[in-house]
Amino acid sequence: MQIRIDRALERVKKERAGFLDTETLTLFGYSQGAHRGEKLAKRSPHRYKRVVLGGPPTAPQAPGFLSFQQIAVLGGELEDRTHMEEGFARLKEAGLSTKFFLLPRAHHGDYGPEGRKVISDLFNWLY
C-alpha cells in the first residue's frame, strides 16, 4: 500500500511541477480505511506525523503511535462510537495529542449536515 501511495504522490507532484510536500504527510482513513491507515501509519511513523481515524471499526490502539504529533478520531453521532471513544481515551491516557471530533446527526459513512464545519475544525486543529 505504501508503494502505491508513494507512486500517487510522485505523480501529483509531477503534475504540480514539483509543488507538493511528500515528506510531511497526514494520513486520513475512514471506516475500513481507518483500520488499514492505523496499521500503515504505525509501520511508517517517519512518514505520517498526523493521523485521522474516521469511523474506525476497532478501537485505536496507543502502542505504535508514540512518535506521532497528532491523532484525530472522528465519529458520527448516530453510529455506535463506544469503541472509538474507548480508543480515544486510551490514546489520551498514553499522553498523545489527540482529539475526538463528533459529526452531529451523522450515521456511519455520512458526514451529516455539519460535516464541512467539523472537518474544517479538525484540520484547523491538526495544523
Fold of 24-126: Rossmann fold (3.40.50)
Phi and psi (nearest 5°) for 47? -90, -35
SS (H, E, C) 97-121: CEEEEEECCCCCCCCCCCHHHHHHH
- 46: its cell numbers: 517517519
pTM above 0.85, yes or no: yes
Per mean pLDDT, which range of 2-11, 35-44, 60-69, 105-114 is the poorest? 60-69
For residue 30, what pLDDT is reported?
97
Proportion of the chain in helix, strand, coil states, percent, rounded to 5: 40, 20, 40
The pLDDT score that the predictor gives to residue 1 is 86
pLDDT tens-digit series, residues 19-75? 998 888 999 999 999 999 999 999 988 889 899 999 999 999 998 888 889 999 999
Task: Report pLDDT for 12.
Answer: 96
What is the dihedral angle through the alpha carbons of 18, 2, 37, 104, rounded to the nearest 10 degrees?
30
